[in-house]
Every structure is written in structure tokens, then in C-alpha cells.
Chains A and B, each alone.
Chain A
Amino acid sequence: MPNTKELARHEEVQKRFTGAHALCAGCGIPVCVRTILNVIEEPVVAINATGCLEVATTRYPTTAWNIPWIHVAFENAAAVASGVETAYRVLRRRGRIPKEIRFVAFGGDGGTYDIGLQALSGALERGHRFLYVCYDNEAYMNTGNQRSGATPFAAQTSTAPVGEKSFGKPQRRKDLTEIVAAHHVPYVAQASISDWYDLAVKARKAVSVDGPAFLNVLSTCPRGWGHPTDQSIKIARLGVETCYWPLYEVSEGRWCLNYIPEEKLPITEWLRPQRRFAHLFESGHEALLAQIQRQVDEDWEKLVRRCEDLPPSPFPGGAMEEVWR
């Protein structure tokens, strides 16, 4: 695995995903995309669901992509990837493609947790060799912060607004990483734009397995979350340090925690800097805050228990060790 300097140089050479895009200042998506593409050594083809990344990078006749890239619709990135990957296998077998190629699909949480879940599930079950990356910014941000299946409990969104009779989204978010793990695919991991080295290692590992791989990457949205654009990495890191967004992986069915905070921060540290949670700090919402803390604690304990059966994995993590060899 290359170090920081080597990765930076790699980017100079590759420029697979260029700055010629219109993503917002402080958006987590380009960090996620660039980190992942830069650690893939083989030629790579990108498949994109409709969403911020697609809209902001390919305004015809311009493009931010120096690699082959395809977008078809919102809910079908995994199905399109199935077609591209199958075409690759056939054409390679028939002697028409001379080299190894890797395939990475990108979708937001709306395109992955919600409308694209069926296509993703089908592609995982069929075993296509591709990496699916969900950049999870916890709502439909491209259309203006509508709630999705990834939006956390009590967050303010434009379709689950806060009001006299509403405290924001009344339901919990679904756990997509666990849903994907239940497909028994070779590699599934949760990562964050704040922990880029962990993300880079996971991306490298994900494209090295012979089958489907999945990365769920916490990705900030200053517009939707309501925080200063220069605080993105810090806020994503608070998601990790509060154990709201644990960094872990499921490799060949083995559950492994990649990071255990030295001191688990209270969930309010993650909530307070974000305007979407501001209402929770008004008086009368103490019970909601306590409920959120309880949920985080329970989920974290469950995850730790699940991972405890495994050989201890020293931070910076089992994934890194294995790739490092």
C-alpha cells in the first residue's frame, strides 16, 4: 500500500477524476471518489447512478472524467455495472479485450439504500466482479435535502421538516452495510471521508477480491447538513469518534472492527455542529437526545460483540495488514 506522498504522486499521473466538476465546496464526494480511484492500479471503468456526482461532473459537452464512465438512470447503477462487467468477461473470453479492467459503481444513499436497492441486491447475488461505492450523505441532496432511508432519526430534512408537531425524521435509518453483508459477498466495509487511509486500503482490498465488493462511505454535505464548508472532514471524523459511523469490514464473512476510539465521544459532539440537528438542542428535546445516544450505544455494542469473536485486529486495522503484505 502506498504512503501519502506516493498516493499524491499517483494522482498527478492518473488524474482519473479531475477538478473540472461543479460539486459544492466542502462536499465529501470528490474526496471519496478520488481516494478510491487513485488506489486502483488496473485500468478502471466507472458506473454512476443519477445524483450529485453524475450531475456535477458531466454537464454535456464537458466531463470531469478521464476514465471510461457511464450513467444510465437513478436506480440501476448496479444493473448497468452487471451488464458492463458481463460484456467485459465475454469479450475477454472471445479475445476482444486484451487487458484486465476493474469496475467501480458510485451511487448516493438515495440511489443505493432506496431506489437502487433491488438492482444492487440482484447484482450482489449474481456475483459480478465489481466494487459498488455508496457515498452516503444521508438524504436526497441533489434535489435539495429530502429524507431517504439513510437519513438518521430526528434529522431535519425538507420532506421530514421540523415543526410544532414534528421533530424531523421519525424513523431510524436502515443499516445498509449489514444488508449487503447478508448477501455473503467477499468484501463489505464501512468507511468515512475523514479516514482516507482506511478508505484507500479498503478500496484496494475491495477491487482485489474475485466477486462483488461494497463500500459504504460517510460523505458530508455542507448544504444539507448545515455546517461550514471547511469543517467537513472534522465533522465526518466526529461521526467516527462518537461511534455513530463505525469503521469496520466484513471480509469473507469475518467481521472486523478497524477502529476503536480511545475515548468514545458523546453523540452530541456529532449532532451539535450540524444545523439539521439544531432543533434537538432546544429545550424539551432532551429525551430525543438521550434516545439517539441509546441507539448509538446499542448499535456499537452489538457491532463490537459481532467482531469480538474474531482475532484482534490492531488499528490501523486488519484490512491494512492483509493488503500490506
Chain B
Amino acid sequence: MRVATEQKRLTLITGAEAAAHAMRQINPDVVPVYPITPQTPIIETFAQFIADGQCDTEIINVESEHSAMSAAVGASCAGARVMTATSSQGLALMLEIVYIAASMRCPIVIAVGSRALSGPINIHCDHSDSMMARDAGCVQIFAENAQEAYDLMIIAQRLAEDRRVLVPVMVMQDGFTITHSAEPVALLPDESVREFVGQYEPLYPLLDTDRPTTQGPFALPDYYFELKRQQVDALEAARTVWLELQERFAETSGRRYEGFFEEYKLSDAEYALVILSSTAGTAKVVIDRLRRKGVKVGLLKPWLFRPFPAEEIAQALAHAHAIAVLDRAISFGSWGPMYLEISAALGRYLHEKPVLYNYIYGLGGRDTPPESIASVVTDMQNELDPRVLRYLGLRE
């Protein structure tokens, strides 16, 4: 990401507040929410904006996340612009309806403060929650820091509502690490955001009583499959729309999200790390240190996880000698979710494949210091067996 030299002003806010500012500026019609740590500061900050008259969205303080997503689908089908926010168990409870939101083609933006799933209950960050939802039919975007969380929420709104897409978009930021940590963030002027997102024009609003529609019918084997195929196309289209929107967003903000992922010192790297979200920031520090020692190491940080930019990632990693994918979630009985994607991508697109390692790290908020990440590079240099799943910072 290139940061524009002409920053109008920087505001010291948390990631949660940054997401709330994006919501204030977008000023959606309806926001159904239910509180859960670490999402709470997003919805509290947003509720205060409404209380102070800075935007006039209707919040529905529902009695569960299941009802939050249900109300979101109802409002979205009615013709409203809808956003919500959740974490962990909240997303798990929503999940039945997240699938339906995607199939009913509801462009709902969901801010997620990433948090481990129970049990045991744990309020700290990992990516088990969003990875659990990876097959639901939503676009999934991971933000590294508060600035990205803010920018990507704004981009998400237009991405979701593009008629080629029309599916929910989840924007993840790491719980506590980002949601509760203050950073300088460049906020756009309100008018710029409103101009960027425009007004939502629903295709078939339920509230158009002159053109009645039956929404959410019963589809048997003679139609269900084709309807699912349309969702495949929607996610495919999201790739194109994402790239188009980045051009527009760069014009609006001076900040450019180039491609589907950030490459950090990757072009000549012999060793590549693939990491989502805030830990990618730690990895950059490690990479700088190792580079000073002459180790050619680089980073690939996906913003977009769904749709997964498999070919682009395979090409970007093709030149590396070894790659380590760091997953902050695990598919029990298998390996890390992102590793599985990248392994498939390398297999599909490359004849000569780099050695591919998988590390599980940071579950339940376990700290991942720079030394842990450096040890991964050492492992690759020592040519450890890549057929072994490894863990960072775990007591065995």
C-alpha cells in the first residue's frame, strides 16, 4: 500500500472506532446488532454517533446474532442499505443465516473483530470465526491495521452492492490487537465517502408493493443447483469489481490497494511468508531485520480471502525457494485453511513448486513475537520436512 504524501489529517483512533467512522460516513439505513467482545466498541461508537446526531441510521438492538443477521436479511431484501458487526460465537450463531443472506443476494457489510471460537471460551484473537464462514458465499477481506479496516469497510460497501456481485462482504480486523489499539488513521471527508458509496438502488425491493416479489422460496433439485452456480459467478465477479474499485478508491483517497494482496519485499525473496491481518505487520519488522543480515525473505499478505486469488498468489510465489503459510486457525483433522488454499493453488498453476510449509500460530490470542516468525525462516533455511504441520509458540 502506498500512502499518499498529502495526508490532510491523522486521527488517533482504534480499529473499532475506525470501522465505526466508516459506518457513520456511509450512514446506512439499518444496522441490526448484538453485543459481543471484541466487536462492542464498533457498535458502541456507532450508537454514540447516532445519539450525537452525526448520522441517522436505525439500529435494531436485537436479542441475538441469529436475529441480527435475520433482521439484516429482512431489511436488505426490503431495499435498505444494511451493515452489522460481530465476532466469534456471534458469527457462529449467525452462520445459518449468513449462508441464506448470500443466497438471497443481500449486500450486507459485516465488520468482524476476529476472535477465537469456544470452547474453552476465549475472547482473544484468532481467525477460527471467519474461517468457519469461508464457504458461506460471502466476500472475505482481512485488514492488517486500523487504516485498512477503515478503508476496506468503505470499499466493501460498494463491492457488496455492485450488481455483478450482490453478496455479503465480511471485513475482518484482529480482535483487541486492532479493535482496541489506537493508531493514527487518515479519515476521508464525509462527502468523499458518501460520493464513493453513492446511494443503494435495490433491484427487487420487497417494499415495492406494486411489483410484488416472492423472496426466499422453496427450490427443489430441478432448480437449486443452478441457483448455487449463480453464487459462484457472483464471487468470481467480485474479483473484477474489487480491482475496479481500487482504482476509484485510489482517486478518492490517494491510498491504493494494489491487486488482491500486499507484497512486501517479495519480488526477489527466496523465502516467502504468507500471513493474514495484524501478524503481517510483525512479519514486516522481522523481514527488515533479516534482510539487513542478507536473508532474502518477503511477505505476501492477502486482503481478499474469498474469492481466493489462487492464480495470482501462485504466480507471485512461484519464484520462491520455500514458502511458509502461517494460519491463525486450523481445520481439525486437516491443516490450516489458508495453507490448503495455497497448496491447491500451487498444484493447479505451477509445474515447479516451491517447498510449502504450514504453521499454526496465535490460537486464542497466543502472542506471536518477532522471534517466532524469525524461527519459521530459520526452519525453511534448515530445510525441515515440509510434510509436518508445525505450531508457533505452543507448549507440546
- Residues of A contacting B60 with CB < 8 Å? 82-83, 86, 126
CB-based contact B97/A73 at 8 Å: yes
Which residues in A have their C-beta under 8 angstroms from that of B75?
Answer: 83-84, 86-87
Chain A 83-115, CB within 8 Å of chain B: the 1/0 string? Answer: 110111111011011010100000000000000
Given A72-B74, A83-B32, A87-B207, A126 and B61 contact (CB-CB distance below 8 Å): yes
Assess whether B342 is interfacial by the CB under 8 Å rule. no
For residue A303, CB closer than 8 A to chain B, the reply is no
The reply on A35 being an interface residue by CB < 8 A is no
Is the Cβ of B218 less than 8 Å from the Cβ of A54?
A: yes
Contact B61 A60 (CB under 8 A): no
Q: Which listed segment binds A: B62-70, B241-249, B250-258, B293-301? A: B62-70
Q: How far apart sit A94 and B209, CA to CA, in the bound complex (Å)? A: 18
The answer on a CB contact under 8 Å between A94 and B29 is yes
B208 interfacial contact with A, CB 8 Å: yes
Contact of A68 among B29, B76, B208 (CB under 8 A): B208
Q: How far is the CA of A96 from the CA of B56 in the complex (A)?
A: 15
User: Measured between alpha carbons, how far is A118 from B68 in the docked complex, in Å?
Assistant: 12
Any chain A CB within 8 A of the CB of B117? no
A19 within 8 A of B: no
Q: Decide: A80 and B74 in contact? CB cutoff 8 A.
A: yes
CA distance A36 to B136 in the complex (A): 37
- Contact assessment for A55 and B218 in the assembled complex, using a CB-CB cutoff below 8 Å: yes
With both chains docked as a complex, state the minimum distance between the C-beta of A16 and any C-beta of chain B, in angstroms: 9
For the complex, count residues of B whose C-beta is within 8 A of A. 44
- The answer to whether A68 touches B217, judged by C-beta atoms less than 8 angstroms apart, is no
Please tell me if the beta carbons of B97 and A90 are within 8 angstroms of each other in the complex.
Answer: no
Contact A79 B217 (CB under 8 A): no
**Contact string, B203-243, partner A, CB cutoff 8 A, digits 1/0?**
00011110011111111100100000000000000000000
Partner of A119 from B61, B66, B209, B218 at Cβ < 8 Å: B66
Q: Beta-carbon contacts of A115-132 to B below 8 Å, as 1s and 0s? A: 000110111011000000
The listed residue (B66, B77, B80, B220) touching A60 by CB distance below 8 A is B220
State whether the Cβ of B72 lies closer than 8 Å to any Cβ in chain A. Answer: yes
Partner of B207, one of A47, A68, A119, A122: A68
Count contacts on A: residues with CB < 8 A to the other chain. 48
Min CB–CB distance A85 → chain B (angstroms) = 8
Given A70-B206, A88-B78, A97-B207, residue A79 in contact with residue B218 (CB < 8 A)? no
- Contact B215 A69, beta carbon cutoff 8 Å: yes
Residues A76 and B67 in contact in the complex (CB < 8 Å), given A84-B78, A87-B80: yes
Q: Is the CB of B32 within 8 A of A58?
A: no
Most B-side CB within 10 Å, residue of A65, A80, A94: A80
Q: Please measure, in the bound complex, the distance between the C-alpha atom of A54 and the C-alpha atom of B214, giving whole angstroms.
A: 11
Q: Which listed residue (B58, B104, B215) contacts A89, Cβ 8 A?
A: B58
**Chain B residue at smallest Cβ distance from A67:** B212
B100 touching A72 by the CB < 8 A rule?
Answer: yes
Contacts of A58 in B (CB 8 A): 214, 216-218
Q: How far apart are B136's CB and chain A's nearest CB, in angstroms?
A: 14
Task: Tell me if A70 and B67 are in contact (CB < 8 A).
Answer: no
Write the chain B residue with the least CB distance to A74: B96
A207 CB to nearest B CB, Å: 15
Q: Give chain B nearest CB distance to A188 CB in angstroms.
A: 19
Is B212 within 8 A of A65, CB to CB? yes
Residues on the A chain within 8 Å of B100, using CB = 72-73
Give the contacts of B175-229 with A (CB-CB under 8 A): 206-209, 212-220, 223
B208 contacts A81, C-beta separation under 8 Å: no
**Interface residue ranges of A19-74 to B (CB < 8 Å):** 43-45, 47, 54-55, 58-61, 63, 65-73
Are B212 and A83 interface neighbours, CB within 8 A? no
Q: Provided the pairs A73-B100, A79-B70, A86-B60 are in contact, do residues A59 and B217 lie with their beta carbons within 8 angstroms?
A: yes
Contact of B63 among A69, A73, A93, A122 (CB under 8 A): A122
Complex CA gap A295/B325 in Å reads: 66
A44, A60, A66, A72: the one within 8 Å of B218 (CB): A60
Instruction: Specify which chain B residues have a CB less than 8 angstroms from the CB of A86 in the assembled complex.
Output: 30, 32, 58, 60, 71, 75, 80
16 example contacts (A-B, Cβ-Cβ < 8 A) are as follows A45-B207, A45-B209, A58-B216, A59-B220, A60-B223, A69-B212, A71-B215, A71-B217, A79-B67, A79-B68, A79-B71, A82-B70, A86-B60, A88-B78, A89-B58, A119-B64
A47-B74, A70-B74, A83-B73 given; 5 more Cβ-contact pairs under 8 Å: A61-B217, A79-B71, A83-B60, A83-B70, A83-B82
Residues of B within 8 A of A (CB): 29-30, 32, 56-58, 60-64, 66-68, 70-80, 82, 96-97, 100, 104, 206-209, 212-220, 223
Q: Which 7 A-B pairs have the closest CB atoms?
A: A83-B74, A122-B63, A83-B71, A87-B78, A58-B217, A79-B70, A79-B67
